[in-house]
Structure 1
């Protein structure tokens, strides 16, 4: 059995008073396309209604957007570029959305990407990668990497600094950001300046349940128990599960990776995975910054709590400093 140390020992507290615990999302595998469309529509409507009442809303609407298509292994990847006003040279952040590799879209993350572009005064590139189970590992990940290559070669057309590209993602998107950082190093690809991982899924292969899973596996929005193989829809076989690009925590060599910022929710079954990966990066000589947002649940950056904005501002500050 492999034991990983943690970057710090969390307290495993209870949700903050302002937090609403929404029901866990269960996919309708028999009517997947229809279910996804309904889920996206309801999520966008709900989040838009929340953000419209926030003081930042008028400024978010000033962010320009342009939709482009990036040619990937599975065909075109619809991608949205968010650009602040002005013609200066902007830092660039590629954002990979979360959703268990199988749900959500750039529409669901519209406010997240706009807020990052606004508060960080940076260009955000958000790919709508193909989803599992129709497209299993490593399909979406390869598209995530192709987005990095495209950005390096084309972002100058949008006043983006091709020498200042960072990657970010939440949950399964954080898994992509971590894996793309490894791929870029190993393939001598575009240089990634920094990586920002929001409550990341860092391993799909666990030999025992973690403390955070024991505390929060049911009833805290994300129902997650590693013993139940929760990401089976993403993989063809167990060998893929053990691949370090699917489970970055299993990567033997983490040296030379970009500085990492972890932004985790306290009341999240994935909390310990992030803490373990942060410690392993630190042991490999990678600069690590870690933030645990007390009382928050998995997925909280898609809400409008004070700590939702705090988390996005932490990410923007990390990119710019």
Structure 2
């Protein structure tokens, strides 16, 4: 199971009723933050998920509305007592920007490891999450992310009993270990059923639409995607600023075969997000506009 909170939903600048766009993902007790604009720690504190378990931050790109909140978050994590390493992922230029921001957060009780990607890399996030990224189109190095929580095949109890495998070995087999007993060897394949679908989500922001993004988001349970503009009249503006209109975001969801779309990263001039929601639904019906503090839970399918 994954819990996702849209801590903020605004682009460019924080507003009195809307924090900057960022997303927090919880797997078990482990947390990963996607983007970290100015004031991120404030809605996070209101959420009540705590700070100590933050194990990774994934930056889409190095514009201020996505990174300027880093010192405040690092202070909160330090104050919560974390001593384990914190991994930071992002595109080219991440090390330079993070090192600059850390001049006002230099003394921390935990080490920071920075990883710069071009797109196409696969890596692991806290809470047994498998992640990958793809390059986005924003005029500067920018990444979109996919996160997956895999699901183990079901353990076939009757099959294990038929093979006379003692119960004390069942868990080891279920977790992928081969065991030997009474001169017999048993493998996980002997007692595990067919592969089962896990959980997947994608985070795409600050980009023009492109096919690589739909490929990244293929068959995700949830696509969280920017919707900087809410009317087709703003399409020229979206093109010139390397952002998207809501219907273009919906086109990515449609082409990806996503299960649901949540729009975020709204322009400060968007006061009522229902117009973006309506425009996107004309292309991809299962769409809703995020609101600050929205929490969604993704669970395994019954099958």
* Shorter-normalised TM range: 0.3 to 0.5
- Tell which has more relative contact order, 1 or 2 (C-alpha 8 A, sep 6+): 1
- The structure with the largest alpha-carbon Rg is 2
Tell me which protein shows more strand as a share of its residues. 2
Q: TM-score normalized by structure 1?
A: 0.31
TM-score by length of 2: 0.32
